[in-house]
Amino acid sequence: MSLSSLETQFPLAENLPEGVQFWWAGGCVGAELRSFDWSDAGQKGVAELAAELRVETITRMRQVHGNHCTQVHRLGTELADTDACISALSGAFGVMTADCLPVVACASDGTEVGVAHAGWRGLAGGVLTNWVNGFSCEAQALIVWIGPAICYSCFQVGHDVVRAFEHAPMFENIDIRPHIKADSSEMGKYRLDLKQLAVTQLRHLGVEQLVVSELCTMCEPNLHSYRRDASPHRILCGVAKKDLT
């Protein structure tokens, strides 16, 4: 699968409750650029995307690679120092990424929605655990989508990252060995499957309805990758919840 246009994508369109929409946007095709970072150009891009989604604004997080989950009771453009959020409000919520995991969810009855940002620090630190447990419904009632992120073949890490997962309380009863392998090309390095570590943890938490994007931000030249480009540009993944009353 490859990205050939900059049109906004709508995954799981046929499998979501009425009034709920998952979406993602961003990338670079030729001279055309879509980025949703905190720059003036990025802010303009967010405003244009909000208009496209027919929402007043897109609430985004000031992500810090932590494990805090915020319950959103009032819509706004920014949530400080958090890497996950949940809301029962009608509106749009987005997560900015350029290799880390963007994770989007809704309750199967459409009452709650949320997004999460999970790099290796946040994932090992329990951000997805705190997020899933923050929903009012049981994990089995969640519909979860993991968006474009760095793949196993591209994600080389050191032993410090492996050790973080080996000693992570949230992974204590999870077998991480299938998803972390020694890199035969470089001594002391490993290849880590961030997507599958997240999938394994989400399954352990009870999530059953789960879809993972095949797109790798680093393999796909038209997507934004911090590891490849050291660029501030970001894709934006999220969810919009419409008021049906």
N-terminal to C-terminal alpha carbon distance within the chain: 38
Partner residues linked to 63 by β-bridges? none
Residue with tokens 């929605």: 113
DSSP bridge partners of 238: 23, 94
| Mean pLDDT for the chain overall | 96
CA distance 177 to 197: 10
Mind listing the domains of the chain with CATH numbers? 20-241 (3.60.140.10)
pLDDT digits (tens, 9 = 90+) for 11-63: 999 999 999 999 999 999 988 999 999 999 999 999 999 999 999 999 999 99
H helices of 54-153, in order, are 120-125, 127-134
- Across the range 217-242, mean pLDDT stands at 97
